[in-house]
Amino acid sequence: MAKQGGIYKIQGLRQRWIIYQVLEDMLYSLYAALYLGALVYYLWSTNLVYGLITFPIVFAILLSINRPWQMTDEKIAAFLNKEYPELQESSQLLLLPVDELNPLQVIASSKTASVLTDLKISHKPFAKRLITAFFFLIIATGLIWGLGKIFHIERVFFGPNRPVAVCAPGTMDMAEKVLPQISSVEITVTPPAYTGNAKRVQDKFNLSAEEGGAVSWIIKTNIAVKKITIQFIKNGEIALQSNKKHTEWHASTQINKPGFYQVSIDGKLSDYYYIQMVKDVAPVIHIKSPKQYTYIDAGEAQKVTINATLNDDYGIAASTIIATVAKGRGEGVKFKEYMLSFAEVFDAHKPKYDLQKLINLPTLDMQPGDELYFYVQAQDTHKQLSRTDVYIVSIQDTAELLSMNGVLSGVNVKPEFFRSERQIIIDAGQLLKDKDSISVEKFNARSNDLGIDQKLLRLRYGKFLGEEGEDAIGAPNNDPANPADFSNAAKILKEYTDDHDNAEDAGFFEPNIKAQLKATLTEMWKAELQLRLYKPQAALPFAYKALRLLKDLQQKSRSYVAKTAYNPAPLKPGKRLSGELDKIIQPINKQEIKAPADQLEVLKNAVNVLEGLKSNPALKQADNRTLRIANQELSVRASAQPGVYLSALNAMRRILLVPKANLADVNTVERALQKALRALKAMPSSQGTSADMGLSKQYYKNLQQANR
């Protein structure tokens, strides 16, 4: 009987494990459905069907992976043996038939069954993963709530500066207060044709419209009214037209500025409603390749590939490449402009294009020494143009690199190592010419010799960066054990330390010069590698690049000082030494400096009026005029920062409409005005001194010291 109870307990634990596993998969599926549904809701569509479809799909996938139904009683018994030592690893005996057990196993089985029946098994090992899944679900719910708040704030306050997703009717969830006479409102937003967006209808006064779009209002009232107008802040007002019963009113206008508006029914004003304008930004162009400065060395293909990405909120209409070829030097330079087009057709007006253009430089009549300047220009459907920076592609002139101009003159004599790279290039070119007339062994030997010359040149330049020459590695030095050098610590340290990387030795150059020297050594390494592999043709591009970097270093080491001459004004001999000074007068410069107008004077006066309203809530006529002027300034700030000043703007309107101001509204407006007022800058002034010249302070100081 005890054995049957143990078997039932094992089977109950198996069912509990399966239930926990299914619940865990269900929570993870709900976690995935919430995330995907929230992202689709905020970024693309307000339809919740995507989240509902995600839940069963993910749930089925997790069940097929975990397969909780495959859990067996033997695995549960193995788990019990591992977690509970008092079972003496005999739980699996309860699952075997009685007739298959020997007498010793029967005794152990009955003992294990009695222990298992009274054993209190914790749910934590079974529910551990379930608790983790529940914890992740709580985090997902909090993140989705925060994501909703962020998207809501962006759509309300930051929408005029960036494109946002188009809101469907009824999705503007800000609480609106409407006048009691209004039974319903229907606002139709018609975007401009170039946007490609469809017309949409909403039933809220707060609206979001594309720049230049048309907005029409249809307001229905529950009673007949005489007049309805829509008043814009600093943009005038429009009057609505009515039907014969004066219960349905309509008007339309074009939106070109963000701001706020109010609905006026027979003189009664509503709350402020915002107008969010979505601006059409210019196309954004990103060139992935080539780099802004590209050199084509000797031996490289004279081609350049332009990879560009174009992005626009409403679509790209056209894009071209404006290229200019510069030929010649100095005053004899000539320019020729080309307009190149991409192979892509822009009839579809897609918002993103990945473009590629291969330019064969010889087709533009470019030769070594010429330069290509180009930029990419794009136009969107609203005919807004944008362009990139200018990119430069230069074909290296090998004749100029190998020329001896400026080297043979006595004024510009450089050390030998500044000309060694040129000699290596000349010898490599001669070796390629002699390739067919000499044997393979001799060709390889000459190529290896050039590699040795390249190595020696590289080691020579490496000394400028503090590198160690190969001839100094392992070289014998004076014996430090000489008795005469017993106390010479410097000599001993020099023998047993490696000081070739001293910062003082390697710090003679500026960082950009050192970086260019390192790049030169890298190119020499590559050229030496190809020469040692008997490939002088492959080594030439690296050698040319190293030579070009060296010539750039030569130009940077030069200094030029222009000669100047002084040309005095011509003197009139007849007026010399005459002593006539009547026409020499003292120069007088008159300038009237007016103090700049204080733009915050209106707000300062309004703060004084609000302070008076705290003691006397009745608003005087002069104070009413002051607050109305401040109301205009406050409305401008509310258009730029509605989250800070919109509540104060509503409170100011209530103060102006009621005969006695409410203290809460006064405090709200005053706090907003204090935020708008800048802190006054401290003016320079002399430090005040006491009449006794600090004697009293010195007296008390000495008195305290005497009392110690």
Q: For the chain, how many helices (H) and strands (E)? A: 16, 20
| Contacts (Cβ under 8 Å, ≥6 apart) of 357 | 305, 306, 308, 321, 340, 342, 343
Architecture of domain 166-278: Sandwich (2.60)
Q: How many CB atoms lie within 10 A of CB 460?
A: 15
Residues 532-554, mean pLDDT to the nearest whole number? 86
Per-residue model confidence (pLDDT) at position 49:
66
Where do the domains of the chain lie?
2-144, 166-278, 284-396, 400-466+501-556, 601-676
DSSP 198-214: PPEEES-SSEEEETT-E
Tell whether the model's pLDDT for residue 376 goes beyond 90: yes
- Name the CATH superfamily for 284-396: Immunoglobulins (2.60.40.10)
> What gap in Å lies between CA 511 and CA 142, rounded to an integer?
50
What is the average per-residue pLDDT within 3-27? Answer: 70
The three-class DSSP label of residue 164 is coil
* Cα separation values, 307 from 94, 287, 354, 366, 397, Å: 72, 6, 7, 21, 26
Contact call for residues 260 and 275 (beta carbons, < 8 A): yes
The pLDDT score that the predictor gives to residue 646 is 78
- The number of C-alpha atoms within 13 Å of 600 and in the hemisphere containing its C-beta is 10
Give this prediction's pTM. Answer: 0.46
Total number of residues shown for the chain: 708
Band (pLDDT 50/70/90 cuts) for residue 377 is very high
Query: Is 400 or 669 the better-scoring residue by pLDDT?
Result: 669
Q: Pull the structure tokens for residue 211.
A: 């720049």
432 closest CA partner among 297, 302, 539, 548: 539
Q: Which residue has the tokens 């219960």?
A: 247
What confidence tens digit (pLDDT) does each residue in 47-81 have? 566 667 777 887 777 777 777 776 776 667 776 66
Contact assessment for residue 221 and residue 251, using Cβ atoms and an 8 Å cutoff: no
What strands lie across the sheet with 303-311, from one edge to the other?
284-289, 303-311, 352-360
Half-sphere exposure of 238 (CA within 13 A, CB side): 15
Percent of the chain with pLDDT over 90: 7
| Token pair listed for 111 | 């003992």
Task: Pick 428 or 687 by higher pLDDT.
Answer: 428
- At 581-618, the pLDDT tens digits run 777 777 787 777 766 556 577 788 888 888 888 888 88
Q: In Å, how far from its chain's centre is CA 96?
A: 67
Q: For residue 529, report the phi and psi dihedrals to the nearest 5 degrees.
A: -60, -45
User: What's the whole-number mean pLDDT along residues 702-706?
Assistant: 76
- Cα torsion 494, 499, 500, 505 to 10°: value is -110
Phi and psi dihedrals of 302, rounded to 5?
-85, 65
Structural contact between residues 215 and 185, judged by C-beta atoms closer than 8 angstroms: no
Q: Is the peptide bond before 290 cis (omega within 30 degrees of 0)?
A: yes
pLDDT in tens, 213-226: 899 999 988 888 88
Q: Which residue has the higher pLDDT, 14 or 89?
A: 14
Enter the tokens of residue 282: 């210019």
Q: What is the DSSP string of 225-256?
A: -S-EEEEETTS-EEEPEE-TTS-EEEEEEE--
Give the least confident one: 120-129, 200-209, 257-266: 120-129
d(C-alpha 469, C-alpha 460), whole Å: 8
Q: In which band, very low, low, confident or very high, does the pLDDT at 161 lie, cut at 50, 70 and 90?
A: very low
Nearest to 339 by CA among 327, 325, 323: 323
Mean pLDDT (whole number) for 104-112: 66
Which one-letter amino acid corresponds to residue 343? A
Q: Which 8-state DSSP code applies to residue 533?
A: T
pLDDT in the model for residue 321: 92
633 class by beta-carbon count within 10 Å (0-12 exposed, 13-18 middle, 19+ buried): middle
Q: Choose the weakest-confidence range: 249-253, 403-407, 636-640, 704-708.
A: 403-407
Q: If you compute the radius of gyration of the chain from its CA atoms, what whole number of angstroms results?
A: 44
pLDDT digits (tens, 9 = 90+) for 316-342: 989 999 999 988 776 667 888 899 999
Report the pLDDT value the prediction gives residue 172, as an integer from 0 to 100.
Answer: 41
- With 0-12 / 13-18 / 19 or more C-beta atoms within 10 angstroms meaning exposed / middle / buried, residue 600 is middle
Sign of CA dihedral 338, 344, 347, 348: negative
Is 122 within 8 Å of 151 (Cβ atoms)?
no
Q: Is the separation of the CB atoms in 412 and 406 below 8 Å?
A: yes
Whether the pLDDT of residue 539 is over 80: the answer is: yes
**How far apart are alpha carbons 177 and 369 in whole angstroms?**
73
Per-residue DSSP letters for 411-472?
TT---GGGTHHHHHHHHHHHHHHTGGGS-HHHHHHHHHHHHHHHHHHHHHHHGGGTPPPGGG
